[in-house]
């Protein structure tokens, strides 16, 4: 009996060691691929929210980290600075809506120095498939409704969904998700209005790797 238990214990130990080794090898073998995919995703999103004709600097390297509660969550967010011939042209800002239907919604907002939105993209969320996930461009063009709109701090009531008296559509059967996104874009633009000069003059202090 004791020998059987001991034998089984050894077999379980060996199995655990082999499994751990395989998992480690899989991680090592895929981490570079994952990092490359993250780099490509970041560059793709930056290009979507800030068109290439707005800058001739290396956008993904001209980056600074800000810790601003208005951008959502109690953690730093990155700001990428687009410059044309060293002159400020636009920003691409990471921001997080904390009040989505299923939790945080991570966004990137592109905006010119005149506070005109160049683009908004949802990069991470857990919203309900078929309803809240319409914030994804691959599923719906709703997120494009921000493009071209200019922010005026004196007319913030327009930056709401129609149900709340604003200019943005809500989804049929799902108002919480678009409401959260619209409100977070509004807060982000308000932050840019108040801190734009400082954002462009801060040191580039966050670039290590686009996947970081």
Assigned token pair, 99 = 């009040």
Q: Supply the pLDDT for residue 33.
A: 64
Give the pLDDT of the chain (212 residues) as one tens digit per residue. Answer: 555 555 555 565 566 555 555 555 554 556 556 556 655 777 789 999 999 999 999 999 999 999 999 998 778 999 999 999 999 999 999 999 998 888 898 999 999 999 999 999 999 888 778 777 888 999 999 999 999 999 999 999 999 999 999 999 988 878 989 999 999 999 999 999 999 999 999 999 886 554 44
- Judge whether 3 lies within some domain: no
Q: How many domains does the chain have?
A: 1
- Judge whether 209 lies within some domain: no
Q: Give burial (CB, 10 Å; 0-12/13-18/19+) of 88.
A: middle
- Judge whether 26 lies within some domain: no
- Judge whether 23 lies within some domain: no
- Judge whether 144 lies within some domain: yes
- Judge whether 73 lies within some domain: yes
- Judge whether 9 lies within some domain: no
Alpha-carbon distance of 170 to 117, in angstroms, equals: 19
Q: Supply the pLDDT for residue 129.
A: 80
Alpha-carbon distance of 138 to 146, in angstroms, equals: 16
Q: Supply the pLDDT for residue 62.
A: 95
Q: Supply the pLDDT for residue 37.
A: 63
- Which residues form the domain of 60? 48-201
- Judge whether 5 lies within some domain: no
């Amino acid at each position: 009996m004791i020998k059987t238990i001991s034998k089984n214990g050894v077999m379980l130990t060996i199995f655990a060691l082999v499994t751990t080794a395989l998992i480690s090898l899989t991680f090592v073998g895929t981490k570079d691929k994952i990092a490359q995919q993250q780099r490509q995703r970041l560059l793709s999103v930056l290009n979507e929210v800030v068109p290439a004709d707005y800058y001739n600097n290396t956008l993904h390297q001209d980056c600074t980290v800000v810790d601003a509660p208005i951008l959502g969550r109690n953690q730093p967010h990155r700001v990428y600075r687009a410059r044309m011939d060293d002159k400020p042209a636009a920003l691409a800002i990471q921001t997080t809506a904390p009040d989505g239907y299923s939790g945080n919604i991570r966004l990137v907002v592109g905006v010119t120095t005149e506070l005109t939105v160049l683009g908004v993209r949802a990069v991470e969320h857990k919203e309900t498939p078929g309803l809240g996930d319409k914030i994804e461009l691959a599923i719906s063009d709703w997120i494009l409704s921000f493009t071209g709109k200019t922010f005026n701090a004196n007319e913030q009531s327009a930056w709401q969904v129609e149900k709340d008296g604003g200019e943005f559509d809500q989804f049929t059967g799902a108002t919480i998700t678009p409401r959260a996104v619209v409100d977070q874009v509004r807060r982000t633009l308000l932050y840019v209005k108040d801190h734009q000069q400082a954002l462009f003059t801060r040191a580039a202090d966050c670039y290590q790797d686009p996947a970081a």
